[in-house]
Structure 1
Amino acid sequence: MRSQQSLEEIAEIHLLLEDIKKEYETGIRTVLRKNNPTMFANPHTIPKLQKIQINRGLGLAAQNTNILKKSIEEFTTITGQKPIITKSKKAIAGFKIRENMELGLTVTLRGEKMYTFLTKLIFFTFAQIRDFRGLSVRSFDKAGNYTLGLKEQLIFPEIDYEDVDQTQGFSITLVVSSSSPKTRSRTIDKVLNGMILFKFLRFPLNDSGYYEKYSSFSEVNQVWDRKKHLRRKRWSQE
């Protein structure tokens, strides 16, 4: 017989699979505010996913029309949206790059397409990665956004193995938006907001490794402050 906790987890996953946007608006936001009335007294401070940016750098290979066309088709198939071709802003002779030269592709997903892609990424795509052990919590940036890299496009169910000439990866950035007050505008608070949101969305964050020896978040915060102090001390001596 399944435990009550496992049944609740299964129910949560089914709700997210059915409509992840609706579950966030009606379920997750309410739970966050109820469990943390002091932290999220203002509803605008509750973290939310603003957009997802997907990028692929092709370099000089983008000058090959067939390679560029194939990448555009893959992006359109995976995201449901046609990508924008990124171009160089200035010439760099050492890298044989001219000004306004095509170098890669980018897509920005919002709204329904963003949530559709997120559902596919969490519940289907990560499961296709060999020896997948979760994603590092150390990939958050100072703004609380999360960036991950995928080595190949074959892990997406829409891509047919026989149609792929060469495996190419891309980077995915999940941009989190939250209007934090000045008292909670530090980097550690922004990262914490992102971690809380992703945990509720069943994002496979791996909390072990570097952080498993600490029993509470306050201990991790103290370690960060100590390292910051030592870094400043070293700089002042130099």
Structure 2
Amino acid sequence: MRNSHLLEEKAEINRLLNNIKKEYEEGIQPVLAHNNPKMFGNCHKIPKLKKIQINRGLGLAAQNTNILKKSIEEFTKITGQKPVITKSKKAIAGFKIREDMELGLTVTLRGEKMYTFLTKLIFFTFAQIRDFRGLSVRSFDKAGNYSFGLKEQLIFPEIDYEDVVQVQGFTITLVISSYSKKTVFNNIFNGMVLLKFLRFPLNDSGYYERYESLQDISQVWDRKKHLRRKRWAQE
């Protein structure tokens, strides 16, 4: 029985590696709709990945032409798309920042480039992180989007160690869209469901496996909110 599950898991991973977009449309979407028709009966309610945003803040170092040029080259190699230079909206004298000053880089991936980057990220890049134990399930925002940081660019296969002048990281945001009830719980739950099907390495998602149904989890969240409000009222 255990070997059967291992074979199914390997087959699922191979399908995602082959074409993650096709597997989502032909494999993940029908499974969600079939297993929970009440929540995902409408195809527009099924969570899907809308875009991936990758950001790097350079601060005052962006004024150095060589550093800025090197970061642009790294972004282009990693994402296959030229980044946009982010600039300050107003002057802040205490931080020596002028208005319209170059401070960082950002890239927004959609379509095929988004799925290509996601495949590389899940199955190749995370494996290069030393002592990697997964990502926290608590990094979802209220809209159900997932954000996390990477400390260095060397974990990407396109980057040559000898070409790196300065070790710099990224902030990556997976923007997830779902047309469910606009509540924080539903947004986060939909994001967790999607990332779990995509084999995203969430290390503490097993916290919710102790509950038998979605209603049990919802009740726990309601109790926690009630206790927080009670504590705030006492303070």
TM-score by length of 2: 0.94
The superposition leaves residues 66-102 of structure 1 with CA deviations (integer Å, 9 ceiling, x where unpaired) of: 0000000000000000000000000011111100000
Matches within 5 A, 1:11-26: 11-26=11-26
Contact 1:153 1:169 in 2 (8 A): yes
Equivalent in the alignment of 1:231:
228
Contact 1:53 1:107 in 2 (8 A): yes
Secondary structure of 2:97 counterpart: coil
Equivalent in the alignment of 1:92:
92
Contact 2:208 2:217 in 1 (8 A): no
The question of 1:69 aligning with 2:65 is answered no
Equivalent in the alignment of 2:83:
83
Equivalent in the alignment of 2:171:
171
Percent identity of paired positions between Structure 1 and Structure 2: 78
Matches within 5 A, 1:1-150: 3-150=3-150
Write the letter of the residue equivalent to 1:228. K
Equivalent in the alignment of 1:156:
156
Task: Report deviation, 1:190.
Answer: 0.8
Q: What RMSD, in angstroms, separates the aligned Cα atoms of the two structures? A: 1.7
Task: Report deviation, 1:227.
Answer: 2.7
Distance 2:66 2:129 in 1: 27
Task: Report deviation, 1:56.
Answer: 0.2
Distance 2:211 2:41 in 1: 27
Task: Report deviation, 1:235.
Answer: 3.4
Secondary structure of 1:38 counterpart: helix
Task: Report deviation, 1:224.
Answer: 2.6
Distance 2:222 2:116 in 1: 38
The superposition leaves residues 128-176 of structure 1 with CA deviations (integer Å, 9 ceiling, x where unpaired) of: 0001111110001100000010000000000000000110001000000
Contact 2:90 2:100 in 1 (8 A): yes
Distance 2:110 2:223 in 1: 39
Distance 1:12 1:51 in 2: 23
Contact 1:214 1:220 in 2 (8 A): no
Listed as ranges, the gaps of 5+ residues in structure 2 are none
The question of 1:215 aligning with 2:216 is answered no
Number of matched residues?
234
Secondary structure of 1:39 counterpart: helix
Task: Report deviation, 1:226.
Answer: 2.4
CA pair 208-33 structure 1, distance change in 2 beyond 3 A: closer
Distance 1:127 1:43 in 2: 33
Contact 2:85 2:103 in 1 (8 A): yes
Task: Report deviation, 1:232.
Answer: 2.3
Distance 2:216 2:34 in 1: 25
Equivalent in the alignment of 2:183:
186
Write the letter of the residue equivalent to 1:197. L
Task: Report deviation, 1:231.
Answer: 2.6
Secondary structure of 2:37 counterpart: coil
Secondary structure of 1:147 counterpart: strand
CA pair 213-179 structure 1, distance change in 2 beyond 3 A: closer
Distance 1:79 1:9 in 2: 28
